[in-house]
Amino acid sequence: MFNFSYSNKTQIHFGEQQIAQISKEIPKSAKVLVTYGGGSIKSNGIYQQVQSALSEHTWFEFSGIEPNPSLETLSKALTIVEQEQIDYILAVGGGSVADGSKFIAAAAHFDGEPWDILSKTAPVKSAIPLGVILTLPATGSESNSFAVVSKKETNEKLAFGSEHVHPRFAILDPSVMSSLPERQLTNGIVDAFVHVMEQYLTYPVNAKIQDRFSEGILMTLLEDGVTLTKDRNDKGARANIMWSATQALNGLIGSGVPQDWSTHGIGHQITALYGLDHAQTLAIVLPRMMSIMRAEKQAKLLQYGERVLAIEPSQFNGDIDKTIDAIIEKTENFFQQVNMKTRFSEYQLTSDVIDPIIESLTNLKMTKMGENQSVTIDKVREILTNSL
Ligand code: NZQ
Ligand code: ZN
């Protein structure tokens, strides 16, 4: 196992009726900006719960943070932050609202052009404190230090990370999932699954806790992802999926182990160029990433196959390639079982997408990705070609 330093300072309040906790979490003296998206929180009752919990606070609101939040939209919030002297942000939504709010929190204290935080990795030295009421389990943003923001003008989608934007608290009430459109439930299950894979499917470093914890999350997502897809009202499955998504990207399973993140690197370009949802891009790329990088990832692929999917070389007369083919097929089948597409052609996209994606990655100098920097542009081309 590698050396690591780990902490996660997000206070989690998990379970039904926990939204009321925000009244204690946010200081009464604070001037709060409640941020949210396109309005789903108004039709499912979450907004009303926030209103009553904040009845003794001074608060303002900023709505309209879109999926894949844009610099253009978020910049508008900075005016309110300045005018009203906001000193606490409460993000109410999915990963996009959480990420967008992290950007607002950092940009408000940033001296200079805020986009430099992403484009030039300019250091974030402080930020407005923020808390999150999660409405869509998927990204883990509610208890991690990362945010992904897009610049519409240039079709860029970039990430930044800073401990200063790590949420102070997060409310995880699984009952909020009852209003999720099927597409977003699917996205959440797949995104969380791929987050685990990016931190697990590399090479072994004898990190038994991280491996077994990762395998537990994967098994839970496989089981309860399918259960919840069949029965949207299964409360037990909802709770397990919500907690899995948080655990998948809160820093714990990635501590002390090599990480990959090339599926995400490619996926972000696909979203920026063609507008596919974040998780939709991952489900296209991951199966081919597993296949093309099978030699380097062999030990962990076989470990995943045996421990998570119950697929072993002995079932294929010891033929490793056939075993790995079966492991990939079962993973892709899982995506399909939760109603996720796994090919560009299913979105009416053709081989025309390949060159622009390669060009974006090249411009961003993402030409050697993965745990061994061996996901080269040639490998990406092969992955994309096989994913059509
Ligand atoms: O805007 P509203 O009206 O709220 O509707 C949203 C949005 O249209 C809707 N929704 C959310 N909760 C709902 C609901 N509808 C009904 N009932 C509810 N309870 O769902 C739609 C999608 O929301 P969004 O926040 O975009 O989805 P998600 O949570 O999947 O976030 C995706 C974004 O997070 C980034 C992605 O790149 C993408 O921009 N990621 C952030 C990460 C991080 N911060 O660590 C890591 C991830 O890998 C990812 O890159
Ligand atoms: Zn993701």
Residue 157 belongs to a domain:
yes
Residue 272 belongs to a domain:
yes
Q: Are residues 133 and 208 located together in one domain of the fold? A: no
Q: What is the per-residue pLDDT for 76?
A: 98
Q: Are residues 106 and 208 located together in one domain of the fold? A: no
Q: Which of 71, 99, 189 to mutate to test the pocket of ligand 1 (most atoms within 8 A of CB)?
A: 99
CATH number at residue 244: 1.20.1090.10
Q: For ligand 1, which residues put their CB under 6 angstroms from it?
A: 37-41, 44, 67-68, 93-97, 99, 135-136, 138-141, 144, 146-148, 176, 179-181, 184, 187, 191, 249, 264, 278
Q: What angle do CA 229, 330, 284 make, to 5 degrees?
A: 75
CATH number at residue 121: 3.40.50.1970
Residue 6 belongs to a domain:
no
Nearest Cα residue to atom 47 of ligand 1: 139
Residue 160 belongs to a domain:
yes
Q: Are residues 114 and 252 located together in one domain of the fold? A: no
In tens, the pLDDT along 329-378 reads 999 999 999 999 999 999 999 999 999 999 999 999 999 999 999 999 99
Q: How far apart are CA 322 and CA 328, in angstroms?
A: 10
Sheet of 31-36, strand order: 11-14, 169-172, 130-134, 88-93, 31-36, 58-62
Sign of CA dihedral 130, 142, 171, 48: positive
Q: Which of 10, 19, 35, 40 to mutate to test the pocket of ligand 1 (most atoms within 8 A of CB)?
A: 40
Give the residues across from 376 on adjacent strands. 368
Strands 368-369 and 169-172, how do they pair? unpaired
Q: What is the per-residue pLDDT for 168?
A: 98
Structural domain that includes position 212: 182-386
Q: Are residues 199 and 321 located together in one domain of the fold? A: yes
Number of domains in the chain: 2
Atom of ligand 1 nearest to the CA of 40: 3
Q: Which of 135, 184, 228, 241 to mutate to test the pocket of ligand 1 (most atoms within 8 A of CB)?
A: 184
Residue 3 belongs to a domain:
no
The rounded Å distance from CA 129 to ligand 2 centre is: 23
Q: Are residues 130 and 186 located together in one domain of the fold? A: no
**ipTM of the modeled complex:** 0.99
Nearest Cα residue to atom 15 of ligand 1: 180
Q: Are residues 136 and 274 located together in one domain of the fold? A: no
Q: How far apart are CA 254 and CA 303, in angstroms?
A: 17
Global confidence as pTM:
0.98
Residue 5 belongs to a domain:
no
The rounded Å distance from CA 78 to ligand 2 centre is: 26
Q: Are residues 132 and 188 located together in one domain of the fold? A: no
- Among 304, 14, 367, smallest CA distance to 175 is for 14
- Give the domain-ending residue among 143, 175, 207: 175
Nearest Cα residue to atom 42 of ligand 1: 139
Sign of CA dihedral 361, 271, 95, 124: positive
Atom of ligand 1 nearest to the CA of 157: 37
Query: What are the phi and psi torsion angles at 70 (to 5°)?
Result: -105, 150
DSSP state of 94: S
With bands split at pLDDT 50, 70 and 90, how would you rate the model's confidence at 24? very high
In tens, the pLDDT along 51-77 reads 999 999 999 999 999 999 999 999 999
Q: How far apart are CA 97 and CA 101, in angstroms?
A: 6
Q: Which of 132, 139, 232, 277 to mutate to test the pocket of ligand 1 (most atoms within 8 A of CB)?
A: 139
Provide the mean pLDDT of the chain.
98
Q: Are residues 62 and 38 located together in one domain of the fold? A: yes
- Give the domain-ending residue among 175, 201, 218: 175
CA distances from 200 to 77, 109, 230, 264, 345 (A): 37, 35, 28, 14, 29
The rounded Å distance from CA 306 to ligand 1 centre is: 32
Q: Are residues 223 and 255 located together in one domain of the fold? A: yes
Q: What is the per-residue pLDDT for 72?
A: 98
Residue 231 belongs to a domain:
yes
Q: How far apart are CA 132 and CA 10, in angstroms?
A: 10
Q: What is the per-residue pLDDT for 348?
A: 98
Please tell me the number of the ligand nearest to residue 283's CA.
2
Q: Are residues 81 and 118 located together in one domain of the fold? A: yes
Residue 40 belongs to a domain:
yes
The rounded Å distance from CA 193 to ligand 2 centre is: 9
- Give the domain-ending residue among 132, 147, 175: 175
Q: Are residues 166 and 201 located together in one domain of the fold? A: no
Q: Are residues 170 and 186 located together in one domain of the fold? A: no
